[in-house]
A and B are shown apart, each in its own frame.
Chain A
């Protein structure tokens, strides 16, 4: 191959289900992303390669992979910026692999469902959207934890998820905090029930792996710390909102 290039080592699945790695040489331009590299491999080197993507601009959260062991969105990771001689691309952890880099997000979304993630309207007939000022103290906390794209990178990076199957994981707990603090939500104290207990927020040891990999710059560890204070002290200590 002429010009600049990089070796990309991709985790593959054999027809009998066995996992192995395969190296591909990929041209490197200034804006080449991991997704571009996978598309290049698929088109020019191996049409059987399987990977998932949709929006290609960090909004859909479906192209998560591990790049040299670190969870990244393939579409927003520059190939040239990855350190090391070889760029290894692997599927996310803690999720069944369908084929090659494609995982089944089932366990991630079942964990999400376990915290009862759907909004419960406090006022079923509210005709007008609630009046809430942007400087409302609860809102300011919620705002720091929104824009999660449920890409599962934090779920893959979290070692507690790997060791405690009942733990809902960082994204789900991050979402739980947003619901608990939302005064429009009518689920009340029920919100905290699935979160409390040894398999809930208390299983988190604050290792910060989730906050480290979040492609949106969110801080799920911080959200879980806030949840712990809410479970332990309720609102009276003002541990969260102020």
Chain B
């Protein structure tokens, strides 16, 4: 048994992106609470809020309306969103934009009259996306990180990842987590009255994937293993325009949606604007699910580029315009050997975001007392497909909400003792790869997982592929449990981190594949070629997933149509 440090906190926040930092800022508004933030990388620098390019959807213009943003989000999500969560999102997003500006000092781009500029994004009936150039996440996260570091009551543990949640033996309440200090290779047990999952998803178990490289769906898997209810795990978003850069880590880097909003064309190898076949009205400004599927089908039909993608071309706007509107994107394509300003760029769909996750209520409670979730770790806000610009809105709005709720609720909550056997078991499992003298190679298994998920649980799915994938995943899971990593250098042991990432990704992949097999229709990002139509009669539902005796239990649950029912078009409120 290794030496273990222990810490005690009122609130433990797992994650230091948009959701985590805002939760910590809001929680620490209440004096006297001790808040601990554990982040897998460096605060505000790892994770995906940092990587936000296009921007932030919020209703600011008098000609726009909350109801329109609400409906756009539901339509984008194919109506299985939790309507109460969406209502919170659209109502609070404008306040959060003001908070980011007025309290933390963010500054978004302006119109000539000094009001905030908003640009067009896919699937939206109004130009609603607030931005700072085409690298909006840097502006947001640099300000939030700086604001948080000025709070004395907040302890930030950088390069600490959670390896297991802790529950007390009596009530089954979550009372903290076991953290691995990546820099030193040691463990810290944090006992907390409230624990927030804000690790930010990140479906990196696909050959092409856009998220920051350290992400591995940790929060969702931790919640599942602790027994929390999940849903919509089959809903993995593929961003349609990720750069194709074979042989480089830059492969899968996103080119932002604003390009399509500004009039970029998608072309196949025959030079056809193929979106005319898939969504003739909206063309390239269609939603991400439809555009990704179109790209994928063109590629598999043999009309792809030499590198296995399609062409994205915005050069008809003129070099000067493209350079002025999308400086970050131009630089990125030049780094990859293309030039967005003067010609077409090779792009391909890539796994980008998971709409599914931990079920929460309107106060970010999960189904386990003491455990909260916000941002990409949570489900329900985005339904079956997320609109571009709604991701950072979700993480900031719900992160702040969770911070407020936890600060309120921890007062008077008893301090419960973690079960020492559970602590021991989490550490035992996490250190497995260091104890073996022989075993599986982590990189070989990661490669195999990524190819498998891409081929059989990706943009287009079918029953036989999903069944084969589940069988292979069971084998991969066993082999992942036998991985051996180097132990000569325990501090900053990257191979060990990869082994823990693999463990999490395989567990998440099983949830995705099983949920995808269960949903026998096509909706949003989930496309079954054996059930190609949307079936509202039977499937206006969420697929819930929970760990039960004998393994995973999946169930159908009617979507929460508390405000509008798409089948009758009736507005109840």
Contacts and interface: CB of A to CB of B under 8 A. Distances in A.
Contacts of A109: 149
A235 interface: no
A36 B248 CA distance: 6
Interface of B: 41-42, 45-47, 50-51, 97-98, 101-105, 107-116, 132-133, 135, 137-139, 142-143, 146-147, 149-150, 183, 212-214, 245-250, 253, 331-332, 335-337, 443, 485-486, 488-489, 491-495
A98 B146 CA distance: 23
Nearest to A14: B489
Nearest to B444: A43
Given A60-B212, A112-B146, 11 more contacts: A32-B248, A42-B494, A52-B492, A54-B212, A54-B213, A99-B489, A121-B102, A123-B102, A133-B113, A134-B111, A182-B107
Interface in A92-121: 98-100, 102, 105, 109, 112-113, 116-119, 121
Interface stretch (A141-149, A159-167, A193-201, A204-212): A141-149
A53 to B, nearest CB: 6
A22 interface: no
B138 A98 contact: no
A15 B490 CA distance: 10
A129 interface: yes
Contacts of A55: 50-51, 212-213
A55 B210 CA distance: 9
B51 A132 contact: no
B213 A53 contact: yes
Q: How large is the interface on A (under 10, 10 to 19, 20 to 34, 35 or more residues)?
A: 35 or more
A61 B102 contact: no
A214 interface: no
Given A43-B443, A57-B51, A117-B146, A98 B113 contact: no
A76 B111 CA distance: 32
Contacts of A127: 98
Contacts of B245: 31
A119 B45 contact: no
A131 B104 CA distance: 16
Q: 3 nearest interchain CB pairs?
A: A119-B105, A131-B114, A118-B150
Nearest to B100: A129
A129 B213 contact: no
B417 to A, nearest CB: 33
Contacts of B138: 59, 147, 149
Contacts of B143: 119
B24 to A, nearest CB: 14
B491 A99 contact: yes
